[in-house]
Amino acid sequence: METTKNKSVICSNCGGQVDINTLEESVECPFCGTKYAVSDLLNESDAVRIEKIKTNAQQKMEKEKLEHEKEMNKTQEEKNETEKFKKGKFSKVMIICAILDILFCATSFNSGKILAGILAAVMAGLLIWAYLMKAHIVKETKKGMSTIIAIVALVLFIPFMGLRNADTSYKVQEEKASQLDISSAELIAEFPMPDKLYGVLKYDRKDLLEIEIVDVQKQDFKNYVKKCIEKGYTLDVDESDNVYDAFNEKGYNIRVHFEDYSYKDKKTLDITLRAPEEMNEFEWPTNGLGTKVPQAKSNYGRIAWNNSESFIVHVGKTPKSEYNEYVKECEKNGYTLNYSKGNKTYNANNAEGYKLSLMYLGGDRMEISVKPPEEISNKTEATKPVEQPKTETPTQTEQPKTETTKPAENKSSNKTGLGKEFKEAMDSYEAFVDEYIAFMKKYSKSNGTDVTLIADYAKYISKLEEATKKFDKWEEEDMNTEETAYYIEVQTRVNKKLLEAAN
């Protein structure tokens, strides 16, 4: 196709040179101002002139089309990059580090460490700025600038620690411990008495006794486990190197946990005693989702929920052997699709899409939970639920009231108990926080002069990525009652650790 050309002619009026754009309609002499029709100067016919103009118009349209397509492709590429970034690990790292920086900023100013607070605010600002660039909310003037800004923010953590340490060394604030007198505790009759009672009394109720003993050693944990066994806590035992969990014949549950906070030279013995769950004789439901599963052998227990959306019942007087038999009965009744089976859990669907979740709770108790297929759950109007007074789930660890925001409980969850992936994600997250705090403790002792600790910081980032990866698998799922409680428990401990480390 013909492109625009420039030609020169001599002005017939003054003899000056006139430059002509061959696709323009007219031209004016720059010397004398005489106007000419371009077609006359070029001796072109109207047909040739019109064809040139049409050709030029087509070229402009094609050029504009190419520019538009290029812009559309650029927009789509930016959109794809944004989605990839938001789903990637680096975005999670930036968000978590920015939140921690904001926390450090607040605590630094509150404790009078102005320079450290300012640097923490700068770190948070840089991370937020870099995140907005990566998400294409703020224009990135130079490719790779957002990554450089994020790295600078992370590297500034080193001088931040130096400033914090220059103001004052970190002090771990412990709960005030004292010599305990629990002789009048509600559950004292079923409580194995420890050799030492120096620590903190957390709860003393008719259904719960919880204490934390401080300044202990691993041998104290072993000695106390022996006392629990002597007291009759030998049923449904669940134990590990640092935990002993068991029931006695009356249904009382004791949990002993030895915790070694090596990063702050603290060892504790957490002891929790729970009374048996309140249960009564009940009739197996003849309507609602309870009719979708076999009737349990025992009719002693507590129906927590029975309607078109959910059926949850705790059945007592059910030893582990009868729980195993009930699992087999459910399998015979068609609950064999998409199943997962553990020593104390069973989850499966039937051909109609109903979702069954079974769990042996210990203390001769099992939990049965049934959820409807999603399409029924969405369309069926719920009937009035059969509700019983709420009691604490014995497998949960009660926490004091906290301002921590928790996810809303999803009543359409198809399982109970702590899912394996959820438990791994939460434990990995808490382990990461412990590692991170240990690093801060170590660096503060070095007065900000030990450059080799940068390697430890790299390890911290690696652990964060591992925790984030496990969270990525869970974040699209919903939490049931037990998982929500455990979420609060872990988040409360994590917040406490971070605040202790920051003060």
Q: Which fold has domain 280-379?
A: TATA-Binding Protein (3.30.310)
Q: With contact defined as beta carbons under 8 Å apart, do 29 and 18 qualify?
A: yes
Per residue in 264-276, pLDDT (tens digit) is 567 899 999 999 9
Residue-level pLDDT at 219: 93
Q: 């449904």: which residue's tokens?
A: 236
Please name the residues in contact with 477: beta carbons below 8 A apart, sequence gap of 6 or more. 419, 422
For 19, phi then psi, to 5°, come to -85, 130
- Rounded mean pLDDT, 131-147: 78
408 pLDDT exceeds 60?
no
This prediction has a pTM of: 0.44
Q: How confident is the model at residue 387 (pLDDT cuts 50, 70, 90)?
A: very low
449 pLDDT exceeds 60?
no
Q: When comparing pLDDT for 110 and 311, which is higher? A: 311
173 pLDDT exceeds 80?
no
Q: 């309607």: which residue's tokens?
A: 307
For every residue of 159-198, which 3-state class applies, written as one string?
Answer: HHHHHHHHHCCCCCCCCCCEECCCCCCCCHHHCCCCCCCE
Residue-level pLDDT at 105: 80
191 pLDDT exceeds 50?
yes
Residue-level pLDDT at 195: 92
Give the distance from CA 227 to its chain's centroid: 39
Here the tokens at position 408 are 């809303």
Q: When comparing pLDDT for 336 and 91, which is higher? A: 336
410 pLDDT exceeds 60?
no
At position 55, the amino acid (one-letter code) is: T
Q: How far apart are CA 41 and CA 222, in angstroms?
A: 109
Residue-level pLDDT at 301: 94
Please name the residues in contact with 80: beta carbons below 8 A apart, sequence gap of 6 or more. none
478 pLDDT exceeds 90?
no
Per residue in 366-386, pLDDT (tens digit) is 999 999 987 655 544 444 444
